[in-house]
Amino acid sequence: MSAAPATSAAPGPGTMAAFEAAKGFMPADEGRALYAAAVEAAALGLPLLEVGTYCGRSTILLADAARRAGVTALTVDHHRGSEEQQPGWAYHDPTTVDPEVGLMDTLPTFRRTLHRAGLEEHVVALVGRSPQIAAFWNTPLGLVFVDGGHTDEHAGSDYEGWAPHIAEGGLLVLHDVFPDPADEFTGQAPYRVYLRALASGAFTETAVTGSLRVLRRTGPHTPPTTPLTTTPTTPTVPPTGSAGGGTAPGGGA
């Protein structure tokens, strides 16, 4: 598969400027590919959902695509940061720590990001843990963008919780998909989810850009019959749950 063709929808200069100014990790080429996927999916007339908000970098792209189509962008995060964003780890940003409680809180930064981009009215922020929200969700979705926790437990639960809600013809977009075993901590769990989605028969890959994979819902979703992996990969860091968002090298949200 190749990146989206040049004729695909592209974000305007203002949207890209807001994206590049926002705190986060997703590179511009992956951002443009995400935007093209979001515009395509939004044509179904259904909401676009992101798992892993972080500070709203990739949310800007989903929100602008949603605005164009007259639909809503939804973004799920507990805003306490995922595994590798905790103190002492490579992607920790001390400016995101709430000094009063001593924990990460990216929600205020996220809200400022949307305000500066002029996109607040096009986004609904769902503040909580991804599996808890997915458990009571019952609305079809045009797109699900998974960019939350990067352990098998969290990436797997995001896929299991949200993939069944993708409408026929809708898109599943996975970020930080790294096939190389050297990327065990940052990208192997998303890679295993990617393989699992393809093996399910419910999804067909349509585009690849960097670590971003775009898959279309082309068949019925069936519950998993085997575990995601037989080798646990949860790192020894403070437990934060799924939907930390945009955490690995090249990560977005």
| Cα dihedral across residues 178, 179, 180, 186: positive or negative | positive
Catalytic residue among 150, 154, 165, 175: 150
Cα–Cα distance for residue pair 67/65, rounded to 1 Å: 5
Tokens representing 103 are 């924990």
End-to-end CA distance of the chain: 24
Length of the chain: 253
> Does the annotation count 221 as an active-site position?
no
Strand (E) or helix (H) holding 159: helix 152-162
Catalytic residues: 150
